[in-house]
Structures are given as C-alpha cells and as structure tokens.
Amino acid sequence: MAIVSWQFEIDVLSIDMNEERLEKRYQRERQAREAAESLLEKKSLELFQRNQELEEVKESLEKQILERTREAEKAKSEAWESNQAKSQFLANMSHATMTPLTAIIGFAEVLLQHKVSSEDSIKYLNTIVGSGRHLSTLLGEILDISKIENKNLELQPIRFNLPNLLQDIEQMYLFNCKKERLDFVMVIESDIPEWVVTDPTRLKQVLHNLLNNAIKFTSEGCISVHVNFQPTSNTLLIDVVDTGEGIVEEKQALIFEYFRQADATISSNLGGTGVGLFITKSLVELMGGFVELQSTVGRGSKFSVSIACEDCEGKCSTIKARRVVDSQSVGIPSLVGNILLVEDIEVNRQLITLNLRQTGAKIDTAVNGLEGLQMALSGEYDLILMDIQMPVMDGKEALKSLQQLGISTPIYALTANVISADIQEYIALGFSGVLSKPLELNKLHSVLKQYLRTENHSDAEKAQRSNLFAQDPKIKALFFSELSKQNMEITENIKKLDYAGLTNAAHIIKGSAETFGYDTLTKLASESLLLLRKKQYEQAVQQCTNLNLKLAEVLNEYND
C-alpha cells in the first residue's frame, strides 16, 4: 500500500508538473502570438502609411508631370507664336523696305536710261527722296529695337520750347488728318511750361507713333490730343484719342509686345511692321513714364502717356499763333581757316563741303584714312573731320597714325554711329569730339567756331562771298533744282490747302533766294511766311500764288 501511495503521489506530481509546463508553454505561445500580432499590426500600419506616402508621391509626380507637360506645351505654343510673329515681322519688314527700294532703284534707272522732261525729273526725284526718307524711318525702327534689346538706348535731354514742338505736331496732323477726311484737334487742358528739359526727338517719336497709329485705324470721325502738365512732379500728360474701330480687351496688352499686332491681317491691309507701340512703350518708360490704353470696340481708343521732365520754366496756356525762337540757336558764322574733310562717300563729301564752305572756310577733301593721313602730314589745318568707316584705312587707324607721328591738329569723328558706347570709344581713342551724320548744323557751327577764326565781314564782303558762292555751277544747279521742287510743292499745297507745306516751301525759298540775288522772291517768300504764321490763310494763299508765279518766271528765264 505504501508503495502504491507513493507511486500515486509521483503520478500526481508528474501531472502537476506537466500542467505547469503546459501552462508556461501556453503563456509563451500566447505571448509570442500577441507579439507577432502586434508586430504584424505595426508592419501593416507601416505598410499602409508607406502605401499612402507612395500614393501621395505618385499623385505629386503625376501633378508635376501634368504641370510640366502643360508648361512645355505652353512654352512650345509661345515659341511657335513668337517664331510666327518674328517670321511675320520679317515678312512685313521685307515688304516695307522693298517697296521704297523698288521706287528708288526704279526711278533712278529711269532717270539714267531715258530722257525725261524737267517736270517728270523733279517728280521722280521727289519720289526717290520721299522713299529714301521712309526707308530711313524703317531702318531707324530696327536700330531702336536693337538698342532696346541691348539696353543701349539712351536719351539726349535738352532744353527746348514745348509749345513750339506741340504746334509743329498740330500743323502736321491737321494736314495728315485732312488727307484722310478726319478732324483733328489739339487741346491744352492746363497751363504748360514754356521750356522743358527732356529728349524732344524721342517725345516727337512717341507722338508720331501714337498719332499715325490712330489715323491708321480710324476711318471716320476725329483724332484729338489732350495735353496736361503736373507742376508738382514736372510730369507731362498726353492723351491721344481716336474714334476708330477699337481693340478687344484680350488683345490690348498684346499690342505693346515685341513683333506683335492685334490682328495678323493688319500689316497686309494697312501696312506697318508691328514694332511702333513696342518702341513707344520702351521710350516712355525710359523717360520715367508709363503708357495706358482704354479702348472699346466700335467706339475708339485712348492712349495715355506720361513723360517726366528733368526741369521746366515759364508758363503757357495756348500754342495758337505763336513761335518762340530758341535763344541757343545760331546762324551761319563767318570764319577763316583750313579744314580737312576725310569722307569716302562722294555724296556725303559734297553735302558736308557745301555746308562748310558757307562759313567761308577753305576745305580740302580726302576719300579714305590713308589719303587723309598723307594730306594732314603735308598741309596745315585748323581742324580735321574724320569719317570712321572707310576703305583702305578707317578713321580710327588714321587717328592712331597721326598721333604716333606727332600731329596735334584737333580731329573730330564724323559718323552715324553715335550711341553712347561708340562716343565713349572715340573719345577714349583721342578724338577731340564727335559730330553725327546727318549733320546738325548748330553743333557743326559751334565746333567750327572753337577752332577757326571769326571774321566780321562788311556787307560788301558778305555780298561778294555770297556772289562767288552763287556762281558755282554745281551749287547754282542745285539751287534751281530746289526752286523747281518748291514750285511744284506750292502748286500742290495750294490745291490741298496744306498750310504747313506752304510754310515749309516759303521758308526754303526765303533762305536761299537772297544768296543768289533774287530779292523779289525773297520779299514774296517773307510776306507769305508772315501771313501763314499769323494764320491769315486767305491772304497767305494769294501771296503764295504770287510767289509761285514769280518762281515760274525765274525758272523759265534760267531754262532759256
């Protein structure tokens, strides 16, 4: 029995131990399962979060790809449009330049190859001159664009009479609008300064661009210019208003862009290159101002510009029937001295020599830098005027050679390259100064007076000098050619009642007729000018008719 009891206890103990082991095993397995489930849940959560992040990255990438695709498509579209606009601009510019070139070459060949009447010759020459001026304007626009792109466009602010400038604009566009059967009015809406300091050439360019643009897009109605001045900020405010077709709102910003027009058919229908308003905006901003446009389709447009003036003085409330002479202007001086002109273009040599000889100076000419160098070494000159771009030896090389040889004669660069960088280069090389082509006579005379001696001629001496000048066959031929041209101009201007044109013709005749001894012509031209400037137009037309009859008489005597 004792043995059985002991065995039973052993079995019970064994069972207890097994249960305890099983319980521990169970607990371990449960803990392991719970740990595994926790880890699985954690990993699942991490996987879910990672998937969410991947989805977000995917969405972000898709958005970026879509945005980049849109940007690429937009850039492609803009590049295509820009390329099309530039191609259109080049086509327009090619057409615009070829048209005057065709006239210039064609009529020049006619004059060379055929015998034509004097009247036809003058007509063809006028066409050549007009086409040349138009071509010059187009080339000026291209140069302006180049300067704007390269940030080389600089202003030349000077003191000038503002009412005079506005009066010139008024007279020109009274005539231009009349030709298009449009009314024109200029309104001075507040007191404006008598004198201002800004760039008058660029101010006129802005006004011409805006007014020509207004005329182009206005078939009937009126063009008006409204002028205000803000004295507190020295700001000139000008509105150009038309009753034209107007511009749709989505196209209004476009017209100020480079190579753009509101409608691609404009150039073919109305002409133009699409750069005028771009240049206008650039010029106005350079002058410290802004351009704004208000336009309604079918009712017209208003372009508003502001110009910041550096200084101003005086006060004026009207531009009617007035003409103030700038005290800084100078007449032709009487000088004694020797000038060497180095210029390779024959026409330029003749024109410049003609202006120089009017002062009484003695002129020698050379056709390139090397010939100019040789003449400067062998002669004695008070001043040398040196072209820059020439064959054989250019002006800069000629200057260096003269400096090395010890020639101390003042040398002025005479060139069409007169942007600020060019002028700085010429001065740095050692030129005494720079004169631009075409010549600005006031500046030329000012330079000549610095280096040549002034001589006070008696009236008899002046008359003798004028007589010698007038007897030069080439100059005399030029004089009568100009008289023929003005004879035709007066005839046409009387028919069209173009008072600005009559004023210009009378001014030209008055300036030359006295030199050649035609006192009656001078008297009639002076009286015509006086009546025109007083706006006594009926009497002025009658006097211009008398002037024209006398012109015809003088021309007939010359031709006989």
Domain borders along the chain are: 158-313, 335-455, 463-559
Residue 268: its pLDDT value, please?
A: 41
The fold of the 335-455 domain, in CATH, is: Rossmann fold (3.40.50)
Neighbouring-strand partners of residue 307: 236
The dihedral built from the CA positions of residue 451, 452, 456 and 462, taken in this order, carries a sign that is negative
Least confident residue range of 92-101, 151-160, 210-219: 92-101
Report pLDDT for 266: 44
Q: pLDDT tens across 384-433, in order?
A: 999 998 889 999 999 999 999 888 899 999 887 666 667 888 999 999 99
Residue 365 CA to residue 449 CA, distance in Å, equals 20
d(CA 221, CA 149): 37
CA 491 to centroid of chain Cα atoms:
33
Q: What is the mean pLDDT of residues 126-152?
A: 74
Highest mean pLDDT among 114-118, 131-135, 493-497: 493-497
Q: Please write down the long-range contacts of 84-89, taking CB distance under 8 Å and 24 or more positions apart.
A: 85/258, 85/259, 85/260, 85/274, 86/259, 88/259, 88/264, 88/267, 88/274, 89/259, 89/273, 89/274, 89/275
What percent of the chain is helix, strand and coil (3-state, nearest 5)?
A: 60, 15, 25
Task: Indicate the helix (H) or strand (E) that contains 435.
Answer: strand 433-436
Q: How confident is the model at residue 118 (pLDDT cuts 50, 70, 90)?
A: confident
* pLDDT value for 341: 96
Q: Over range 141-167, report the average pLDDT.
A: 80
Dump pLDDT digits (tens) for 11-60: 666 666 677 777 777 788 788 888 877 878 888 888 888 888 888 888 88
Range in 44-53, 146-155, 343-352, 481-490 with the lowest mean pLDDT: 146-155
Summary mean pLDDT of the chain: 79
Please write the tens of the pLDDT for every residue from 318-353.
Answer: 776 554 444 444 467 888 999 999 998 876 788 788
The pLDDT of residue 511 is above 80? no
pLDDT of residue 520: 81
CA angle 87, 92, 97 (to 5 degrees): 125
* Position 1 confidence tier, pLDDT thresholds 50, 70, 90: low
CATH architecture of 463-559: Up-down Bundle (1.20)
Partners of 414 in beta bridges: 387, 435
Fold held by 158-313:
Heat Shock Protein 90 (3.30.565)
- The angle subtended at Cα 449 by Cα 311 and Cα 382, nearest 5°, is 135
User: Is residue 94 very low, low, confident or very high in pLDDT (cuts 50, 70, 90)?
Assistant: low
Highest mean pLDDT: which of 21-35, 134-148, 289-303, 327-341? 289-303
Task: Kindly give, in sequence order, each residue whose CB lies less than 8 Å from that of residue 160, ignoring residues fewer than 6 positions away.
Answer: 195, 196, 197, 200, 326
Weakest mean pLDDT among 112-116, 229-233, 337-341: 112-116
Per-residue pLDDT averaged across 430-441, rounded?
Answer: 84
